Amino acid sequence: MTNRFKAIIDCVTEHPIKKRCAVVCPDKKTVEAMLEAEKMGLIEPVFYMNRQAEGYQEILASVLEGHFTYTHESREKAAENAVKDVHLGKAHILLKGNLDTAILLKQVVNKEYGLLTGRLISHIALLDVPAYHKLIIVTDGGMVTYPDLVQLRGVLENAVSVMHVFGIDKPKVACLAAVEKVNERMPETVKASALKEMNQKGEISGCIVEGPISFDLAFIKQAAEMKGYQSPVAGDADIFLVPDLVSGNLLSKALIYAGGASFAGLLAGAAAPVIVTSRSSTKEEKINSIACSALLSSWPAQS
């Protein structure tokens, strides 16, 4: 079975300068993944510890020697200092350990020292699906709940920027819906059509936008041919743009757990990549996410 994340991992490990990753409140599993990523040559970890955390002394002992390690009296203070260091350029990637995502994001969006850029912050799920012929993005299944048209455009543009960094000059975007015709009673079809029109007018550039289009037509070229649906995106989409968080979350998890997909996840649109994978994420998923984030750390949106 192919591993399309390997090319990204190889690209990062071959670069002589390693990006510094600020790890906030790591648990044992996160530490193991970070040390493995460091051993692979992906990043240089910096640990922001919470003295109140369960197993603190054991975790501290495993990372203290040879690593930058800071201890704090609370999760909130650890998150604050980590974000401040990323803001100042002392670190280049932010990774959530054993704390609520809301605690970390509160610091990320702080107007004084946070990582805001003026762009929407959205979730990017990168998936290597065995049944498909290339790496894809599903977005947004983890951040923006029910985006309006302006927000959906922001989600789309973040995903396009990520694909550009990964070497896809003109990614193909499938604006997903249940049907291919615009129906006023189905708002997602109206938004999809509007995004396609923006793309055709040059208001959204650097990609090819199609929609509304159902998942099967975007994923399987033969299905589009059988239905007489003609589009360069059909069966060859790079980005699967979902209408809301629920559908994105369900699609990603279906591809992972039923389709055997490998996964990486991060937040895009901030001044640095933010990794907020679940506490139940595997070491492989964390390492994939770290590799993708390291590659994206020079992304123009973060300058």
What are the helix (H) ranges across 41-115?
56-63, 75-87, 101-108
% of the chain with per-residue pLDDT over 90: 80
pLDDT for the residue numbered 66: 67
Q: What pLDDT, in 10s, does the model give residues 219-259?
A: 999 999 999 999 999 999 999 999 999 999 999 999 999 99
CA distances 168 to 136, 160, 232, 289, Å, are 11, 9, 15, 19
Could you tell me which residue, 149 or 17, shows the higher pLDDT? Answer: 149
| Strand-pair category, 43-50 with 19-24 | parallel
Average confidence (pLDDT) over 32-38: 92
Sheet holding 274-275, edge to edge: 68-72, 43-50, 19-24, 93-96, 274-275, 262-268, 122-128, 136-139, 239-241, 172-176, 208-213
Total length of the chain:
303
Mean pLDDT estimate for the chain: 92
The two tokens of residue 111 are 């107007």
Percent of the chain clearing pLDDT 70 (strictly above):
95
pLDDT tens, position by position, 250-288? 999 999 999 999 999 999 999 999 999 887 788 899 999
pLDDT, tens only, 171-215? 999 999 999 999 999 999 999 999 999 999 999 999 999 999 999
Q: How far is CA 107 from the centre of its chain?
A: 18
In order of their start, the domains of the chain are 5-117+270-302 (3.40.50.10950), 122-257 (3.40.718.10)
For 123-153, write each residue's pLDDT tens digit.
999 999 999 999 999 999 999 999 999 999 9
| pLDDT reading at 100 higher than 50 | yes
Cα–Cα distance, 93 to 275 (Å, whole number): 8
Binned at pLDDT 50, 70 and 90, residue 15 comes out as confident
pLDDT of 295 higher than 80: yes
pLDDT over 70 (residue 299): no
pTM for the predicted model, two decimal places: 0.93
